[in-house]
Structure 1
Amino acid sequence: MRVKWLKGAMRDLDMEVSYLAQEDIDLARKTYSYIRDRVDLIGDFPKSGRPGRVAGTRELVLDRYPYIIPYRVKNNIVEVLRVFHTSRRLPRKWDAV
């Protein structure tokens, strides 16, 4: 399946990477690459994430870095909704934030 990053997800990823880059550019690059690589895999394995907190979604929980990436499958496209650091308070609706 094709993977589509929604605007909120891209904004989240950009903000997280920018924040990390202020202290450690190498960590920022590694984090970005790891997140993108893992998200690409859900195109091949869309049910690999756990059932989401919000109906109709799933969540990719990263093991190397503390992020949760909610997504949904819509019309045979995996839509990446957001990228959240696990220390942040999570919203009730992924795509409404």
Structure 2
Amino acid sequence: ESAFDFIAQDNAHAAGAVVDRILSAVEALVRHPEMGRSGRVPRTRELVITGTPFIVAYRVRKDHIEVLAVLHGARRWPERFE
């Protein structure tokens, strides 16, 4: 289930706002790829999305950012990303 679908069950407007916040944060990663913290999974980084319970897991590649997942901070974290 996507973050949008989960939140939209209670409030579609709030779901849209959360998605916008996540997208804005990911766009900032393009300019500042090291702004997230070191990830729990080796060779990853994590960007906490301010004002939400979500965390973006990503990898910094030579010429791009690879978003691996957007996870709720309370969920069990995967041991690895494919």
Normalised by the length of structure 2, the TM-score is 0.92
Task: List alignment gaps of at least 5 residues for structure 2.
Answer: none
**In structure 2, what is the equivalent of residue 69 of structure 1?**
56
Report the alpha carbon displacement of residue 58 of structure 1 after superposing the two structures with TM: 0.7
Report the alpha carbon displacement of residue 25 of structure 1 after superposing the two structures with TM: 0.6
SS in 2 for 1:70: strand
Report the alpha carbon displacement of residue 21 of structure 1 after superposing the two structures with TM: 0.9
Of the three residues 16, 40, 44, the one matched with 1:29 is 16
Q: Are 2:61 and 1:39 aligned?
A: no
Cα distance in 1 for residues equivalent to 2:31 and 2:11? 32
Higher helix share goes to which structure? 1
Q: How does 1:43-58 map to 2 (within 5 A)?
A: 43-58=30-45
**In structure 2, what is the equivalent of residue 79 of structure 1?**
66
Task: List alignment gaps of at least 5 residues for structure 1.
Answer: 1-11
Normalised by the length of structure 1, the TM-score is 0.79
Structure 1: which 4+ aligned runs deviate by more than 3 Å? none
Higher relative contact order (CA 8 A, sep 6+): 1
**In structure 2, what is the equivalent of residue 89 of structure 1?**
76
Report the alpha carbon displacement of residue 75 of structure 1 after superposing the two structures with TM: 2.7
Report the alpha carbon displacement of residue 62 of structure 1 after superposing the two structures with TM: 1.6
Query: What is the alpha-carbon root mean square deviation over aligned residues?
Result: 1.2
How many pairs align? 82
